[in-house]
Structure 1
Amino acid sequence: MRRLFGSVRAQATLGATLVVAVALVAAGTAVLLALRISLTEQAGTQAESTANRVASRLASGVGYGGLDLPDGEDSPVQVLDAEDRVVAASEGLERISGTASDQVRPKPGPSASPTGDGDGDSGDGNGPDGNDQDDDADDADDESGRDPGDISEDVAYTDGSATVNGDSTEYRFARVGVDAPGKGELRVYAGAPLSAERSAVGTTTTAMLIGFPLLLGVVSGVTWLVTRRAMRPVEGIRREMAAITASEDLRRRVPVPGTHDEVARLARTTNVTLAALEESVERQRRFVADASHELRSPIASLRTQLEVGAAHPELLDLEGAVADTVRLQALAADLLLLARLDAGERPGDARLDLAALVREELSQRVGDRVPVDQELAHAEVAGSRGQLARVLGNLVDNAQRHAEGAVSVSVRVRDGEAVLAVGDDGSGVPAGERDRIFERFVRLDDARSRDDGGAGLGLAIARDVARRHGGTLTVRDCPAGGALFELSLPLAV
């Protein structure tokens, strides 16, 4: 189970199904609520129409027996007087709830005939006390605030039930007030059955209960198939990456699908990463091979001299042994620095004056073949003093090897950057070789001896240090005719 839901396809399918399920439940609930409200209002409108029709007949002076009340099964009607006594009701009405009175038959009294179908008056139009009934009606008219024959515009709705001819049903009741001439204030309750509303809501609910699971099943199946198809290229990429890891063959590439989606971009990015990794590994192999080759010469020379000196002390070349040892030490230091730079060593953020650094480093140099001219301006930068001093030393050493009679070092501020320039009056660097000279173990003059030309690491180290400090190292023609190397560094803030 954990493995199943641990896949992207299963998670996408589950997520889509849950989202659709929540949406369907919310939409279904809204539809049922709207349907119920609409049908209930429709029933209320029907009940109001029936109540107004009965109230209109009462307002026109029709007696209780002549109201011609509708069939109780379609719309039960109950008429109450001011004291909530039933004065008229639909035929067949056996029980009612939801109105002001649960009575279903008129009782003999001053306002109703014993049968409930008369006017409630004697033959001469007066009650038992002569004009008392008219006086009571007039008082009721005064208390209601309406004139005889007025129908109230305020309609109240209630839900209840009624039993008509043995059948019980739920109804929506509308209450309408009327001041009937000679009868006083009356209230007419008319009902409309809610069976249509209950039936429609029930049918809709049943359809939803059947349809929603089917729809969710379709959504789940489609999502599963679509996700499976979309993830198929990813599985191909995974298998190829596993094969590359097992074979250690970085020349292989993952398949790129013929689409323009995220998976295709992932495959292309993976191939770019593999290409960069292959280049890095190849560069590392070349570096190890070149380093081994460069180390072999001084070590072999030093060993030969020591073996000769051990056998023939008088033939020991101490100066050559010391020179080979110094060269070996310098090469080891260069290799160690390159290893630290490749490992991502941060230069630090110490503030230092670049002009003061140049002045101090140049004052400590001895044995230079060509004098160094200086033009130094104050420029404060942030970084590693030791690494920047190494860059200066490498650039000056390079200039000393190629200069004919002049080497210049300058420090100035240009466009918000500190610029350290080292130039010479030698043969310069051809335009097509100005990027290649910064590669490791590259020497343009192959005829030059290793002792004179070095191992070809100085400029590579200088450019790596420049990049670590957020700067650049470039070469161009020097006004004196040789090469001009410029180290640009951001000013300290």
Structure 2
Amino acid sequence: MSRLGWFIRARLHRRLFLWFGVSIFITGLVVGTMMSLVGGPGWRQEAERARTFVSNRLAETWDEPARRDALVHSVARDLDVDVELRDASGALLMRTGPPCPPHTELSVTVEREGVRLGTARACYGHIRARQPWRGPMMLVLAGASLWMASGWLARRLSRPLETLARAAQELGKGKLDTRVQLGRHATGEMSVLADAFNEMAARIERQMADQRELLAAVSHELRTPLAHLRVLVELMRDAGGSERTADQMEREVVELDALVGELLASSRLDFGQLAPRELDGKDLGARALERTGLPAEALVVEVPDTKLVGDATLLGRALANLLDNARKHGQRVEALRLLERNGQLAFCVDDQGPGLLPGEETRIFEPFYRKDRGGEAREAGSLGLGLALVQRIARAHGGETFAENRPEGGARVGFTLLREGPASVKAPPVAARSQA
């Protein structure tokens, strides 16, 4: 379970369960107290009347043993109890069953005109086993049953909120097709909330799709005039124009083209538009060096297996950004290395610059961080998005970025990635790729 889902469950489900239990306990106490207050005196009065009745009947027949014994047997039979009769001195007159224990359930003093004639004691221990715990146990079982039922009710009430919490978390992760289906757990208010969430998610999905289409169209339209500008620069050179001006224009065009490429790569990550396939790390590194005009000898492979799964365009952009960062801020690229790091395949670039300042090991990957190794402002046109984009690409492939100073001088900046790709960046089947 997610952290948010656990929080919702703990704060609602458990609190409802606890409060149901407290309510049942308090209700039991109140009902018991009220029954004791209302019914107690009445029962005592009825019991006292019964003792008086039995005492009077026995007093009437006390001097006639036959009638008295018949009355005692009748009482014992009708009430299903054992009765023993003793005279005023405590001598046993008769008994209908086994001897009663010293502490009997009922003892009646037989009197006539204020004179004590004897005592009648009734007990039922050998007939019906005395179980004083039976009443409290029944109350406990009833309360426990009600509490278990309240637990089910609390879970039923909290489950829609838990489902909504999970859906909100999935939507926050970028899964814009997430929708809430409450099913049989839907109630009036929860159904309204679920419908509102689904409508919001659908609106967000449409807006993001529109933005993606707009960004793709704008990027395409920007690439076209950039290509025309490059042609015009070459024509200006051929026509004998200023070489310095042509070089400046070409650098600006290259910078704009790189910026458009970074924006496109960033938008693909935003919308999860990855195209994973099986790749060779050596080929990726060689192409990156070729595109940036660096010699192929700069590629150093320190692992026997360089196979991986990933998006070739995005990984190529990450390697180009690493090499460009080393050239601009590390003076010169010494090597592009493929090595093993923490059980993952790593691409890293070694430069010959002054190294990283304390704290820059993580800060250089922050968006818009625009300080070079010496602490001076970077050149105009650099937005500080290059290494931030590298980090996003690495994380999209199940890896992470790293930066460190080398013992021999200079810095090493790179990223790791899973060889097989994370769950969201799995290579499609060969048949599917061939159809595409």
Which TM-score applies when normalising by structure 2? 0.43
Decide which structure has greater helix share.
2
Pair member with larger Rg: 1
Which TM-score applies when normalising by structure 1? 0.39
